[in-house]
A and B are shown apart, each in its own frame.
Chain A
Amino acid sequence: MDLELMANSFPKLLNAAVITLKLLSASLIIGLFVGLFFAILRLNKNIFLNKFAYGYSYVFRGTPLLVQIFIIYFGLGQIEYLRSTFLWVILKEPYWCAIIAFALNTGAYTSEILRSAFQTIKPGIVEAGKSLGISNKIIFYKIQIPIAIRQSLPAYGNEIILMMKGTSLASTVTIMDLTGVAKYIISTTFKPIEVFIVAGGIYLFMTFIIHNLIKFLEKKYSFN
């Protein structure tokens, strides 16, 4: 056990963990909007919109995240037309490509979580709102969405942790996140166990924090 290496690599890995957290928060925020958008489409009665949203979530949940990142980072750059538009400013950066891939991926899972949460809302609650003379729009934003958020908290908590682990794939497109730096240190020192303990410890600590944060929110917004 090389304790010196562990002590030396700790600050480097901690710095890299900041990048992991940045990737995670950016993808979660964008992904939440994407998810909400597609969940609403799924609940729409229009068959075309419904099928479109279903297809989106099916494709993104049925393929590995690695493929999605590679299509966006390596694949989209190949389209000549895209290179001439302003989108290229974003798509040439591996950092933004990773965030786009993560956001679309977590968006697909989030849309499923939100959809099932919306579907478990008892019709009586909506009817109660209607009989009080509240407009449909306000029922949706002030009654259905808050209940759906509460319902989906446990599943969404799992999704946050899965996404945090997913951000490690950013290291495959040259981003030096926690896993990227860990791999670099392993491949230069050939001490995989020591680096794994430190980097894994940081990941576990983040998992622990997220887990407890969700538990706290669940308690705060519980119905009783």
Chain B
Amino acid sequence: MELLAFGKTGWGDELFIATLMTIAVSITAMLIGFLFALIFTPLKLSKNKLFNVIGNSYTTVVRGVPELLVIYLLFFGGSGAVMFVASIFGYNEYIEINAFITGSFAIGIISGAYSTEVFRGAIQSIDKGQFEAAKVMGLSKFAQFYKIILPQTLRLAIPNLSNVWQITLKDTSLISVTGLVEIMRQSYIAAGSTRDPLFFYSFAAVLYLMLTFLSMKIINKLEAKYSRGY
């Protein structure tokens, strides 16, 4: 237990901060994933063949390639890509990207592919009559989407999005390979310096279990809120 003490003698405070880091990365990645889903879901549902191909390749490639490989691509290639874009605008200095941004972006790309599939499924399962009725009521395109379609999509999407959240949360453990100090990296450091890997990795497992358990509780509440009236 003294291994977990706060302050200089134990690893309690370090692990606490690492847990907050894991939560921060997960939320950022999930939000980046939503941005990707916002772009790629319409592409996948579009009638345009080219847009379809773009949308489908994104989800197929990301869901068919290991997460770790995507992380390595961004970790080793990320700053190169950003420097290339910057050089177009005439900025030629070396740019180093912070591990938090690389990590969140890598996990976000992965999470986005899953979210895209969830949103596509949810929109497709909404009754055609709802789209027609919204049109007939004379609502503006904006109101049709935000007031009629989106609330129904959310209700259908939340159970599956909760799976995406769980996957995203667990995937953040992989960005420990880039050196970002989240739960896994902190446990690795603590295990190395105390020579007690069994304790620290088991404790990391407990922390992850707590996070998944708590998020399930919160998601269940959200689910109840959005299925009012059903």
Contact = CB atoms under 8 A, between A and B. Distances in A.
A200 B61 contact: yes
A204 B66 CA distance: 10
A204 B64 contact: yes
Interface in A178-223: 179, 182-183, 186-187, 190, 192-193, 196, 199-200, 203-204, 207-208
A47 B170 CA distance: 30
Nearest to A183: B72
A63 B66 contact: no
B63 to A, nearest CB: 8
Given A70-B197, A71-B202, A183-B72, A64 B184 contact: yes
A74 B191 contact: yes
Contact of B201 (A59, A67, A169): A67
B176 interface: yes
Interface in B71-105: 72-73, 75-77, 80
Interface stretch (B33-41, B119-127, B139-147, B203-211): B203-211
**Which secondary structure characterizes the binding site on chain A?**
helix
A203 B66 contact: yes
A128 to B, nearest CB: 34
A6 interface: no
B201 A182 contact: no
Interface string A56-86: 0011001111111011001111110000000
Interface residues of A, number: 41
Nearest to B200: A75
A169 B171 CA distance: 11
A160 B7 CA distance: 44
B68 interface: yes
Contacts of B191: 74
A165 interface: yes
Interface of A: 58-59, 62-68, 70-71, 74-79, 161, 164-169, 171-172, 179, 182-183, 186-187, 190, 192-193, 196, 199-200, 203-204, 207-208
Interface of B: 60-61, 63-69, 72-73, 75-77, 80, 166, 170-171, 173-174, 176-177, 184, 187-188, 191, 195-198, 201-202, 204-205, 208-209, 212-213
